[in-house]
Amino acid sequence: MAPKSSRPVIGLWIFLGAVFVGLAFYSIASSSFSQPPATSASAEPAPSEPAPPENSDEGDETFRGYACSPDCAELEKGYTDARDKNVKTRDDCPVGGRNSDQYSEGCWAYADEQANQPEQNDQSDQGSP
Protein backbone atom coordinates (compact mmCIF):
# COMPACT_ATOMS: atom_id res chain seq x y z
CA MET A 1 0.00 0.00 0.00
CA ALA A 2 1.28 3.46 -0.92
CA PRO A 3 2.05 5.94 1.79
CA LYS A 4 -0.79 8.34 2.59
CA SER A 5 1.12 11.37 1.32
CA SER A 6 1.13 10.12 -2.33
CA ARG A 7 -2.66 9.74 -2.64
CA PRO A 8 -3.37 13.48 -3.09
CA VAL A 9 -0.64 13.62 -5.77
CA ILE A 10 -2.26 10.77 -7.74
CA GLY A 11 -5.64 12.52 -7.53
CA LEU A 12 -4.05 15.72 -8.82
CA TRP A 13 -2.54 13.87 -11.80
CA ILE A 14 -5.91 12.28 -12.63
CA PHE A 15 -7.59 15.68 -12.41
CA LEU A 16 -4.96 17.34 -14.62
CA GLY A 17 -5.20 14.50 -17.16
CA ALA A 18 -8.98 14.87 -17.33
CA VAL A 19 -8.63 18.63 -17.83
CA PHE A 20 -6.06 18.08 -20.60
CA VAL A 21 -8.28 15.57 -22.42
CA GLY A 22 -11.28 17.89 -22.07
CA LEU A 23 -9.34 20.84 -23.49
CA ALA A 24 -8.12 18.73 -26.39
CA PHE A 25 -11.67 17.71 -27.31
CA TYR A 26 -12.92 21.27 -26.90
CA SER A 27 -10.15 22.58 -29.14
CA ILE A 28 -10.92 20.07 -31.87
CA ALA A 29 -14.67 20.65 -31.70
CA SER A 30 -14.51 24.43 -31.63
CA SER A 31 -12.02 24.69 -34.49
CA SER A 32 -14.25 22.70 -36.83
CA PHE A 33 -17.24 24.97 -36.11
CA SER A 34 -15.54 28.34 -35.98
CA GLN A 35 -13.53 28.21 -39.18
CA PRO A 36 -15.16 29.91 -42.17
CA PRO A 37 -15.97 27.82 -45.23
CA ALA A 38 -13.42 27.56 -48.01
CA THR A 39 -14.93 30.55 -49.84
CA SER A 40 -14.95 33.70 -47.78
CA ALA A 41 -17.90 36.07 -47.69
CA SER A 42 -15.90 38.82 -49.38
CA ALA A 43 -15.12 36.56 -52.34
CA GLU A 44 -18.76 35.68 -52.97
CA PRO A 45 -20.40 37.60 -55.79
CA ALA A 46 -23.29 39.87 -54.93
CA PRO A 47 -26.73 38.34 -55.50
CA SER A 48 -27.71 38.85 -59.07
CA GLU A 49 -30.89 38.60 -61.01
CA PRO A 50 -31.62 35.16 -62.41
CA ALA A 51 -31.16 34.85 -66.13
CA PRO A 52 -34.18 35.79 -68.20
CA PRO A 53 -36.25 32.84 -69.37
CA GLU A 54 -35.12 31.01 -72.46
CA ASN A 55 -37.52 29.59 -74.96
CA SER A 56 -37.41 25.83 -75.00
CA ASP A 57 -39.25 23.27 -77.03
CA GLU A 58 -39.30 20.76 -74.18
CA GLY A 59 -42.94 21.51 -73.39
CA ASP A 60 -42.13 22.91 -69.94
CA GLU A 61 -44.87 24.87 -68.25
CA THR A 62 -44.37 28.64 -68.18
CA PHE A 63 -45.88 31.56 -66.31
CA ARG A 64 -45.81 34.96 -68.00
CA GLY A 65 -42.72 33.94 -70.00
CA TYR A 66 -40.76 32.33 -67.14
CA ALA A 67 -40.19 28.57 -66.92
CA CYS A 68 -41.85 26.89 -63.96
CA SER A 69 -39.68 24.52 -61.95
CA PRO A 70 -41.14 22.20 -60.68
CA ASP A 71 -44.46 24.08 -60.75
CA CYS A 72 -45.58 27.68 -61.08
CA ALA A 73 -46.50 28.26 -57.43
CA GLU A 74 -43.51 30.50 -56.57
CA LEU A 75 -43.86 32.52 -59.78
CA GLU A 76 -47.56 33.05 -59.11
CA LYS A 77 -46.87 34.03 -55.49
CA GLY A 78 -44.27 36.62 -56.54
CA TYR A 79 -46.62 38.01 -59.19
CA THR A 80 -49.57 38.21 -56.78
CA ASP A 81 -47.50 39.82 -54.03
CA ALA A 82 -46.14 42.38 -56.51
CA ARG A 83 -49.67 43.22 -57.62
CA ASP A 84 -50.85 43.53 -54.00
CA LYS A 85 -47.89 45.81 -53.16
CA ASN A 86 -48.38 47.89 -56.32
CA VAL A 87 -44.84 47.26 -57.59
CA LYS A 88 -43.88 49.57 -60.46
CA THR A 89 -40.32 48.54 -61.40
CA ARG A 90 -38.01 45.53 -61.07
CA ASP A 91 -36.01 47.51 -58.51
CA ASP A 92 -39.00 47.22 -56.17
CA CYS A 93 -38.82 43.41 -56.28
CA PRO A 94 -36.93 41.50 -53.58
CA VAL A 95 -33.94 39.50 -54.72
CA GLY A 96 -32.26 36.80 -52.64
CA GLY A 97 -32.73 36.40 -48.94
CA ARG A 98 -35.69 34.23 -48.10
CA ASN A 99 -37.17 34.64 -51.59
CA SER A 100 -36.50 32.10 -54.30
CA ASP A 101 -35.37 33.07 -57.79
CA GLN A 102 -38.79 32.07 -59.08
CA TYR A 103 -40.53 34.34 -56.57
CA SER A 104 -38.40 37.24 -57.82
CA GLU A 105 -39.15 36.31 -61.44
CA GLY A 106 -42.87 36.42 -60.69
CA CYS A 107 -42.43 39.91 -59.26
CA TRP A 108 -40.40 40.95 -62.32
CA ALA A 109 -43.13 39.64 -64.63
CA TYR A 110 -45.62 41.95 -62.92
CA ALA A 111 -43.18 44.89 -62.92
CA ASP A 112 -42.46 44.37 -66.65
CA GLU A 113 -46.19 44.40 -67.39
CA GLN A 114 -46.55 47.65 -65.45
CA ALA A 115 -43.62 49.21 -67.32
CA ASN A 116 -45.18 48.25 -70.65
CA GLN A 117 -48.60 49.70 -69.73
CA PRO A 118 -49.29 53.17 -71.11
CA GLU A 119 -49.35 55.71 -68.30
CA GLN A 120 -52.85 56.48 -67.19
CA ASN A 121 -53.25 60.01 -65.98
CA ASP A 122 -56.23 62.17 -65.22
CA GLN A 123 -55.65 64.52 -68.16
CA SER A 124 -58.17 62.73 -70.42
CA ASP A 125 -60.80 65.41 -69.69
CA GLN A 126 -58.43 68.20 -70.67
CA GLY A 127 -58.23 67.11 -74.32
CA SER A 128 -61.28 69.12 -75.45
CA PRO A 129 -61.51 72.93 -75.25
pLDDT for 118 equals 76
Main-chain phi, psi angles of 45, to 5 degrees: -70, 155
Where does the pLDDT of residue 34 fall: very low under 50, low under 70, confident under 90, or very high at 90 and above?
very low
Q: 41-53 burial, b if ≥16 CB within 10 A, otherwise e?
A: eeeeeeeeeeeeb
Q: Contact, 64 vs 105, CB < 8 A?
A: no
pLDDT for 11 equals 78
Instruction: Judge whether residue 101 has pLDDT over 80.
Output: yes
Instruction: Judge whether residue 59 has pLDDT over 60.
Output: no
Where does the pLDDT of residue 122 fall: very low under 50, low under 70, confident under 90, or very high at 90 and above?
very low
Q: Contact, 88 vs 117, CB < 8 A?
A: no
Q: Where are the domains of the chain?
A: 72-117
In terms of DSSP bridges, do strands 66-67 and 62-63 run parallel, antiparallel, or are they unpaired?
antiparallel
pLDDT for 36 equals 47
Where does the pLDDT of residue 83 fall: very low under 50, low under 70, confident under 90, or very high at 90 and above?
very high
Backbone dihedral region of 67: left (phi > 0), alpha (psi from -120 to 50 degrees) or beta?
A: beta
Q: How far is residue 77's CA from residue 103's CA, in Å, rounded to a whole number?
A: 6
